[in-house]
Structure 1
Amino acid sequence: MNDMNELKKIVIDEGRQYVWTGLQKASVDEWHWSSGDPVLYQNWTTGQPNNGHECAVMKNGEWRDRSCSESRHFICNNMNTGLVFVNQTMKWRDAQSYCRQNHIDLVSVRNQNESQQVQKFINDSHISGDVWIGLFRDSWQWSDQSNSSFRYWRSDEPSNDGNCAAIIHLAPRDWNDVPCSNQNPFVCHEDKLILIRENLTWSEALRYCRQNHVDLVSVHSEEIQRRVMNVVKQASTEEVWLGLRHSCTVGLWFWVSGQTVCYQNWAIDDSDKCESAVRSGAVQSGGDQRWISFPETDRLNFICTRNEE
C-alpha cells in the first residue's frame, strides 16, 4: 500500500484513461496470502479446494474455497491487539480493504501454530460459521518476478477484459484489466536493494557489496524496512545480513553507512555477549522479518544497496 500511495502522487490525468503497471496474467493459478507471504502450509478440508473458487474461508480449523463475491464475517491482524473479529459480513476484497485500512491485513495462517491460534480465537469469540481468511488465488504475476500478492482492483475487477493491469488515472486510482496491446503511459522503477543469495560471513558480505554495488543495507527507517521485507522473502537462508554492527567497546549498534540506530525492529538482541565473537545484525527472511544478532562468522545471504541514500 505504501508503493500504491506513492504511485497515486505520480499518476496524473494526461488525457489518457490508463497507466500501465508491471502486473500481467499468466497461465497458472496460484494461492497467495494477502500479506504477501508464500503459501507453504495448507490445511484444506478433505476434497478441497474443489469448486474453482478464488477465495478461502476457515471453519473448524480447516479451509474451504468460496466465491469471493459471497459475504462472510472475517478476521484481521492488528499490530497491537493481535487478532480482531469483524462482526460485519463483506465480500472478500471488501474485507481485505477494511482490514488494511483499519488494522494490518486479513489474517494469515502460515503454519500449524498459527492455525491453532486462529481456531482458539474463533472458539473463544464464539464465532459460528466460516470466516474469510487472507487466502486467495489468481494467475497475475509481476514483471520483476517478485512474489508480492498486493492487489488494488476496482470493485468487480478483474473482469477478463485483458491480460495486463493498468491504473485508472481517476481517483481513487485503482486497477483494471485491459488488453496488453493497448498503448498507455507507464511507470518504471529501479529497486534500490538487491538480495545476494551467496552464503558469506558479515565481513565478506560487506566487502562484496562495496566492491560490486554500494554498501550493505542500512535500515534506518520503517520505509527501508518495508523495502527489505519485499526482497528478503527470496532468501535461501533463514536470516539475511544487514549493514548493522555492534561495538562492545562502547556498547552500541551502528550502521556501516554512518547513521545512528534510531529506528529498531529487534526480535532478539543478544549483543551483550561480548565475551564471544563480534556480533552483527541480520533480518529474518520469514515470519515477522525482525532483526536478530548473530556472530559475524556465520554465513548468510545478504542485501546490498544499489545507490547512495
Structure 2
Amino acid sequence: MHCSMKLMFLIVIIRRYHYINMMKTWTEAQRYCRENYTDLATDHNINDMNELKNTVNNNPKYVWIGLKRTGVYQWKWSLGGPVKYLNWETEPSDNTDNCAVMRNGTWRQQKCDVASQFICYNDSSKAYIINTSSKKWRDAQRFCRQHHTDLINVRNQTDNQLIHNIINDPQRSVWIGLFRDSWQWSDHTDSAFRYWDSGQPDNSGSDCTAVDMNNEGKWHDVSCSGSYTFVCHEDELILIQKNLSWTEAVTYCRENHVDLVSVDSQEIQLMVTEVLHQVWTAEVVCYQNWAPGNEAAVDDCEREVRSGAVQSGGDHLWISLPGSHKLNFICRRKEK
C-alpha cells in the first residue's frame, strides 16, 4: 500500500489539560499558562470537566480554571453554541432577570429563582422532554443534565415552533436553556458551560473561579488574590468557523497557524468521538480507515489529492467528498 495520500476529514478539537502543582494567584496562573501552554483551563462540556478532574486526580481542594467575572452581561445557551436566533416578546432590559422562559411561542426575561416548568433535551434520543414539576432555573438545569443532556437550546424558528407545539398552552411559562451572566473565559471562547456548586456563585465580590476537588469538581467563585494550584490547557487544534474549500482552508491555516491537521494514526482517529462541527482537515498521512466503496481509486497516492470526511457516527470511517465543498475547518497550532 502506498502511503502519502492527501485526505480531508471531519474531526473535533483536541484539547489537553496540564495540572501545574505551583501556588499562584489567578493572574499569575493565567500568565504562566499563556507563556507555557495556551491558557488557563476552559471547559466546554461535562466531558472536558471529567478530563480535567482526572488530570488533577483529587490532589488539592481548590484549583484555578480560566473563568473570571467581567462587567459585561451576555446571553448564552446552557447547552453551548452561539446565540444566533432570538424570539423575545419585548427586547430584554438590563435588570436582574437573567434567565428566559417561553410563553405562547415568544421568550420573556425571568428571575432565575422563580419556579417554572421546563423542557430538557436528550441528545441520545434527539427528543424534547417537558417536565411539569416546577423548579428554579438552575435546579431545572441540574435535573436535565442528570437525567438527559441539558435544558433546550432553541436554534431557529423551526425549533421554536416545535417547542411551542409541545408546550401547547398559551398561558404556560416554561424554562428554556437561555441565561445571562458576566463570566468570561480567559481564552475568550464563547463556552457557556457552567458547573457551579449549589449556591454558587454567591456574588460576594469574588471574581475568579476555582474547582472544588473535594466536591465532585464543582465550581466556586473565590478571590482572585488567593493562591492555588491550577490547570492549563493546550489546544493543538483550532476550529475556524468560516466556510472555505479545502484549498482555501490549506492556505488560511498555513498563513495564520501551522497547517491543516493530520489524521495520521489510530490514536488520533480514536479521538474523533464527537463531531461538533463539519470541518475540513488535511495533510500527508499513512493511516487509512476508508469505509467500503470509498477507498482510493488509484494505487499511487502521489498522483492526486483525495478528499474525504469522517462519518459523525458509528466507527467514524472515511467517506469521499468533493474538494470544492465548503465547510468549517481545523488548523494545527503547533509543529509536530
Task: Give the match's secondary structure for 2:162.
Answer: helix
CA positional deviation for 1:283: 9.7
Find out whether 1:184 has 2:228 as its counterpart: yes
Amino acid at match of 1:100: R
Q: Secondary structure at the match of 2:232?
A: coil
> How many residues are aligned here?
269
Structure 1: which 5+ residue stretches go unaligned? 233-238, 245-254, 263-270, 285-290
Measured at CA, do residues 165 and 306 of structure 1 come closer, stay the same or move farther in structure 2, by a change above 3 Å? same
CA distance in 2, matches of 1:207, 1:29: 36
* Partner of residue 280, structure 1: 308
Aligned partner of 2:269 in structure 1 is: 220
Q: How does 1:1-309 map to 2 (within 5 A)?
A: 1-12=46-57, 14=59, 17-46=61-90, 48-49=92-93, 51-79=95-123, 80-123=125-168, 129-161=172-204, 162-196=206-240, 201-203=245-247, 205=249, 213=258, 215-216=260-261, 218=263, 220-221=269-270, 224-226=272-274, 229=276, 240-243=279-282, 256=285, 258-260=287-289, 279-281=307-309, 294-298=321-325, 300-306=327-333
Which residue does 1:249 correspond to in 2? none
The letter of the residue matching 1:295 is P
Residues 97 and 128 of structure 1: CA distance in aligned 2, closer, same or farther (over 3 Å): same
- Name the CA shift for 1:296/1:81 in 2 (closer, same or farther; >3 Å): closer
Structure 2: 5+ residue stretches without partners:
1-45, 298-304, 313-317
Take 1:8 and 1:179, find their aligned partners in 2: how far apart are those partners? Answer: 21
Preserved CA contact (<8 Å) 1:240 1:282: no
Deviation at 1:97, TM superposition (A): 1.8
What is the aligned-residue RMSD (CA, Å)? 3.6
One-letter code aligned to 1:135: L
| Deviation, structure 1 residue 6 | 1.2
TM-score by length of 1: 0.73
| Paired residue type of 2:322 | P
Instruction: State the structure with bigger RCO (CA 8 A, min sep 6), 1 or 2.
Output: 2
Distance 1:105 1:181, change over 3 A: same
Q: Which amino acid aligns with 1:281?
A: A
Percent pairwise identity: 45
Distance 1:4-1:201 versus aligned 2 partners, 3 A rule: same
Contact between 1:216 and 1:242, CA under 8 Å: does it hold in 2? Answer: yes
Q: CA deviation at 1:210?
A: 8.2
Q: Which amino acid aligns with 2:197?
A: R
The alpha-carbon deviation at position 27 of structure 1 amounts to: 1.4
1:76/1:25 Cα in 2 relative to 1: closer, same or farther (>3 Å)? same
The two structures have a TM-score, normalised by structure 2, of 0.68
Task: Report if the CA contact (8 A) 1:73-1:88 is conserved.
Answer: yes
8 Å contact kept, 2:90–2:108: no
